[in-house]
Structure 1
Amino acid sequence: MPTSFWRSDDAIAHLNRLDRSGFAVEFLRRNPAYRRDYARTLRRIARGEEDPDDARSALARRWGLSFRS
């Protein structure tokens, strides 16, 4: 969803239907600092500067993310 629609009635209705993890995803997706960090992480992986698994794990630690196994 483009950022211009984040405050629309439809977007608000969508957010109200989310569970905790869905809301957390939406929060991060809209967070400029997270978006910059995520993009920087992807660039480092693409340039071969960092192992993909290590880079993703570091990103997850920085943002307090956990994933179900």
Structure 2
Amino acid sequence: MPTEYWRSPETIDRLNRLERPGFAVEFLRRNALYRRDFVRTKRHLARPTVDAEAARAALARRWGLRFRA
């Protein structure tokens, strides 16, 4: 769902029916600070000397996330 439609009645209805994990994803998707942090982390991960697991763990800690394999 594009973020520009987040105030439409259909979107509000959909958000109201979400379980907690789904709502959390939608919240983060719309959060400019999270999106910037995610992009910054993604760029960081592109460097060959970066410990990818540590970078992902740091992102998760900053935002209270849990990644599943």
TM-score, normalization: structure 1? 0.86
Q: Is 1:57–2:29 an aligned residue pair?
A: no
- Structure 1: 5+ residue stretches without partners: none
> What root-mean-square deviation, in Å, do the aligned CA atoms of Structure 1 and Structure 2 show?
1.6
User: Number of matched residues?
Assistant: 69
Amino acid at match of 1:23: F
TM alignment of 1:1-69, pairs within 5 A: 1-67=1-67
- Structure 2: 5+ residue stretches without partners: none
Q: Note closer, same or farther for the CA distance 1:28–1:49 as it changes in structure 2 (3 Å cut).
A: farther
1:3-26 deviation line (CA, Å, top 9, x unaligned)? 211111111111011001111111
What fraction of aligned residue pairs are identical, expressed as a percent? 64
More deviation, 26-35/58-67? 58-67
